[in-house]
Amino acid sequence: MIVLPIHNAGKFEEVLKPYRPDSFTHTAWETMFAHYSEMSDDNGEDIKVDKEDLSEWCEYDSLNEAADDLGYDPAEYESGGALLRAMRDSMTVYVLTNGKVLVYD
């Protein structure tokens, strides 16, 4: 196995995108890189990410789409914020700057 150090989101996307070419927007790739970078900083250790790790991530067009797919009924929550908090209790959820939602489950 070859391990490459990656120090920026562009390289992260370049190396891993061929394994899931149509699954994530550029904003999602940047967010995944930031997620792993923060984990590495918090743990004080390098994080090894490979193509199998990408199966833990999914990008959705909206919070309601993510909720429906993940077994949450948006109608049961008084607001989108309440739904988001409930989802974040059991998984990592990012609301992206492009309006999409990225979930690590």
Determine, yes or no, domain membership for 29. no
User: What pLDDT sits at residue 2?
Assistant: 65
Determine, yes or no, domain membership for 25. no
Tokens 């489950």: give the residue: 105
Please name the residues in contact with 41: beta carbons below 8 A apart, sequence gap of 6 or more: none
Determine, yes or no, domain membership for 64. yes
> What domain count does the chain have?
1
What residues make up the domain containing 87?
Answer: 58-105
**Distance (Å, rounded) from C-alpha 103 to C-alpha 95?**
9
User: What pLDDT sits at residue 77?
Assistant: 96
Q: What would the pLDDT profile of 1-51 be if each residue is shown by its tens digit?
A: 566 788 899 999 999 999 999 999 999 999 999 999 999 999 999 888 888
Determine, yes or no, domain membership for 31. no
For the purposes of burial, counting CB atoms within 10 Å of the CB of 29, is it exposed (0-12), middle (13-18) or buried (19 or more)? Answer: buried
CB 27 within 8 A of CB 96: yes
Look at the pTM and tell me if it is higher than 0.85. yes
Determine, yes or no, domain membership for 87. yes
**Distance (Å, rounded) from C-alpha 10 to C-alpha 91?**
25
